[in-house]
Amino acid sequence: MLKLWGRISSCNVQKALWAVGEVGQPCERIDAGGAFGGLDSPDFLAMNPLGRVPVLVDGDTVVRESNAIVRYLAARYGQGSLWDADARRRAEADAWMDWMLASLYRDWIDFFWGFVRCPPQDHDHARLARLLAGLTASYTRLDRQLAERPYLAGDNFCMADIPAGMTLYRYYEMGIERPELPHLAAWYRRLRERPAYQQAVMIPFDDLKGRTDF
């Protein structure tokens, strides 16, 4: 059985859990990080010297970093679904996964922390406006990409959809003004129909509001 270390409220853990659900493998999740702590214990640091979650253990294989976990699960258990055997099509999926970390994620996580996790009286409105503008630009790029295809890398759902798709639940639930991006919204509707997305990503985050202590 797979084992995954990380708290359910962590967006990066949600990515990994979503991928686990898509490949249909049984998995035990162990709370770690945030209020649960444990990331500086010798046993955890032996698995991940960086002291971060998520960490996936599959037999004697240890995988750290959420996008690496998604790729591992896709390659190991998702051949023909999450993982495309054609290297050219797989490179397209890889490119979107890397873009998510380099571009979309930076503005998304900073905005989430600044808007949701920061108490309202401490909001830096000018900074939030800049972050939201960057976030809107990234989602507009996705909207253009999705205008002619149902999923990021083509006609079928694959590993490319997981990192960027993970951000959508919080984006649509934060209670902010959003531009009309019909193709992005349609993609989000398709993702919401997936049981693995419902179970791993569509998790209320009320307990994170105004919390900067973890």
**Which pair of structure tokens corresponds to residue 33?**
């990080």
Read off the pLDDT of each residue in 180-199 and give the average, rounded to a whole number. 98
Evaluate if residue 204 carries a pLDDT over 80: yes
pLDDT in tens, 135-181: 999 999 999 999 999 999 999 999 999 999 999 999 999 999 999 99
Q: Which amino acid is at 4?
A: L
Q: Which of 188, 160, 141, 12 is nearest to 89 (CA)?
A: 160
Query: Residue 180 burial (CB < 10 Å; 0-12/13-18/19+)?
Result: exposed
pLDDT at residue 208 is higher than 70: yes
pTM for the model:
0.96
pLDDT tens digit sequence for 96-124? 999 999 999 999 999 999 999 999 999 99
Q: Per-residue confidence at 214, pLDDT binned at 50, 70, 90?
A: low
Share of the chain above pLDDT 90, in %: 95
pLDDT band of 210, cuts 50, 70, 90: confident
Confidence at residue 154, expressed as pLDDT on a 0 to 100 scale: 94
Helix, strand, coil shares, percent, the chain, to 5: 55, 10, 35
Q: Supply the pLDDT for residue 74.
A: 98
Please determine, for residue 212, whether its predicted confidence score (pLDDT) is greater than 80.
Answer: no
Please state the rounded mean pLDDT for residues 90-99: 97
Q: Of all residues in the chain, what percent carry a pLDDT higher than 70?
A: 100
Domains of the chain with CATH codes: 2-77 (3.40.30.10), 87-208 (1.20.1050.10)
Report which of 100, 102, 108, 189 is spatially closest to residue 153, judged by C-alpha positions: 100
Contacts of 207 (CB under 8 A, 6+ apart): 9
> What six digits make up the tokens of 3?
């084992």
pLDDT higher than threshold 90 for residue 207: no
The pLDDT mean for the chain works out to: 96
Phi, psi of 177 (to 5 degrees): -75, 135
